[in-house]
Amino acid sequence: MTRIILKKGRDESLRRFHPWVFSGAVAQIVGQPAEGDVVGVFSHEGEFLAHGHYQVGSIAVRVLSFQGEDALSPDFWVNMIGKAFRVRQAAGLTDSGSTNCYRLVHGEGDGLPGLIVDWYDGVCVMQAHSVGMFRAKGAICEALKSLFGDSLKAVYDKSSGTAPFKAGLDLVDGYLYKAEGFSDDQQVVLENGNKFLVNWTEGQKTGFFLDQRENRELVGKYSRGRNVLNLFCYTGGFSVYALKGGALRVDSVDSSKKAVDMVGENMELNGFDPSLHSDIRADAIEFLRGIPEDKYDLMIVDPPAFAKHRGALSNALRAYQRLNAAAISKVTPGGLIFTFSCSQVVDKEDFALAVFSAAAQTGRSVRILGRMTQPSDHSVNIYHPEGEYLKGLVLYVE
């Protein structure tokens, strides 16, 4: 096995269980690893530190195990995914009568850097964010089969947009496993008793934004008697909870036609009167600029990540400020705004500062009623604080 030898003194972060080895910390590579190979990482003095997937780029190794040179046993994937399952079990997600979809594997948060697996009532949708995880997909699928047996309906690999292979390699998404008789590319799942149609082949990411489950519930609690605007609505997750919570009406806005079309289907699935909601295909900022100031007294603002890397941070902060200023200026006095950022490089202080600047720009009096984050199935490895990516504020605007 290839040995990655670190520079002197550059073993500190691995000894504190941080799961990445940066290329700048590498003194020597003994062997000729292909991208995605499992390699051993050693201190300058030759002490074994970790096993991980080798990568080309600023992160040279993503760690799979810190435990001894022979830790990558044949049962590795079953052990690790089994542990991830038990975390979801402890959180009450695996045998809940009202929720049958959750994130089963959340990358670094579950000690499996670069791997996402979402569970949709027996269908596992996986996304590999590293070449190593992509190359391991067969073993991952076998582990899922052995862990879930008959309750596994399918394993779908959706890594074409996420696995960082060099351009030119044509990746094709597809099923790694299908139980006999299972043929659909979509199915209806339950989240807190609400029904949602999830289409993993056509939808964004793995098909549904499971990370907003608890925040949707919170919106439901605040919605009674309110006129709700759900911006960046995708398939209407927040809209369904708002109507369930007693909203007077809900307007849902997204720039994607496919997404907006599914909002109507989800409304129908949950039995809501069509006159209580409309689905609007539009750019969220343009839509906000065009509305009067007395129309909505609850807004949800959940844009896609504005910054995908550190270099984009300052532009992203300006974009959050612009968007939130537009929302704050248009919400009715006494109105609420649930505003989010899912950019990993924007931390919660940065985001709060962008929203503060937005409020100041409008001159309105704004209170913070609550802070939101990602749920337990998007767990954060304490040694990898970068894993905390979703943050949100509940604002009350006078």
- Interface with ligand SAH, residue 191, by CB under 6 A: no
Q: Using CA atoms, how far apart are residues 150 and 146, in angstroms rounded to an integer?
A: 9
Bridge partner residues of 177 (DSSP):
155
Closest C-alpha among 191, 298, 300, 321 to residue 253: 300
Task: Indicate the residue among 133 and 328 with the shorter CB distance to ligand SAH.
Answer: 328
Q: Least distance (Å) from ligand SAH to the CB of residue 261?
A: 12
Stretch that binds ligand SAH, among 84-92, 250-258, 291-299, 369-377 (CB under 6 A): 250-258
187, 198 contact by CB (below 8 A): yes
The token duo for 14 is 């691995």
343, 316 contact by CB (below 8 A): yes
Task: Indicate the residue among 71 and 312 with the shorter CB distance to ligand SAH.
Answer: 312
- Interface with ligand SAH, residue 234, by CB under 6 A: yes
Residues 284-303 touching ligand SAH, rule: CB under 6 A, are 284, 302-303
CB-based contacts of 258: which residues, under 8 Å, 6+ apart?
202, 203
Q: Least distance (Å) from ligand SAH to the CB of residue 173?
A: 19
Bridge partner residues of 3 (DSSP):
30, 40
Selected from 85, 120, 238, 306, the binder of ligand SAH by CB under 6 A is 238
Size of the site for ligand SAH (CB under 6 A): 18
- Interface with ligand SAH, residue 85, by CB under 6 A: no
Task: Indicate the residue among 251 and 302 with the shorter CB distance to ligand SAH.
Answer: 302
Q: Least distance (Å) from ligand SAH to the CB of residue 260?
A: 9
Selected from 134, 156, 232, 320, the binder of ligand SAH by CB under 6 A is 232
- Interface with ligand SAH, residue 237, by CB under 6 A: yes
Task: Indicate the residue among 42 and 340 with the shorter CB distance to ligand SAH.
Answer: 340
Cα dist. 53→57, 62, 169, 287 in Å?
12, 5, 20, 45
Stretch that binds ligand SAH, among 61-69, 80-88, 248-256, 365-373 (CB under 6 A): 248-256
Task: Indicate the residue among 11 and 302 with the shorter CB distance to ligand SAH.
Answer: 302
Q: Least distance (Å) from ligand SAH to the CB of residue 247?
A: 15
Stretch that binds ligand SAH, among 166-174, 234-242, 326-334, 348-356 (CB under 6 A): 234-242
Task: Indicate the residue among 239 and 379 with the shorter CB distance to ligand SAH.
Answer: 239
Burial class of residue 29, CB neighbours in 10 A (0-12, 13-18, 19+): middle
Q: Which residue is nearest to ligand SAH (CB)?
A: 237
Task: Indicate the residue among 141 and 262 with the shorter CB distance to ligand SAH.
Answer: 262
Residues 251-290 touching ligand SAH, rule: CB under 6 A, are 254-256, 259, 283-284
Going across the sheet that includes 298-301, the strands are 277-281, 249-254, 227-231, 298-301, 335-341, 391-397, 366-372
Taking the CB of residue 340, how many other CB atoms lie within 10 A of it? 21
Helices (H), 293-347: 313-330
Going across the sheet that includes 26-30, the strands are 20-22, 59-65, 48-54, 38-42, 3-6, 26-30
Stretch that binds ligand SAH, among 231-239, 243-251, 316-324, 355-363 (CB under 6 A): 231-239
283, 256 contact by CB (below 8 A): no
- Interface with ligand SAH, residue 118, by CB under 6 A: no
Task: Indicate the residue among 55 and 339 with the shorter CB distance to ligand SAH.
Answer: 339
Provide the terminal-to-terminal Cα distance of the chain, rounded to the nearest Å: 63
The token duo for 247 is 């909203």
Burial class of residue 149, CB neighbours in 10 A (0-12, 13-18, 19+): exposed
Stretch that binds ligand SAH, among 98-106, 230-238, 325-333, 364-372 (CB under 6 A): 230-238
Q: How far is CA 221 from the centre of its chain?
A: 23
Task: Indicate the residue among 51 and 205 with the shorter CB distance to ligand SAH.
Answer: 205
Please give the residue ranges that form the binding site for ligand SAH (CB under 6 A). Answer: 204, 209, 212, 232-235, 237-238, 254-256, 259, 283-284, 302-304
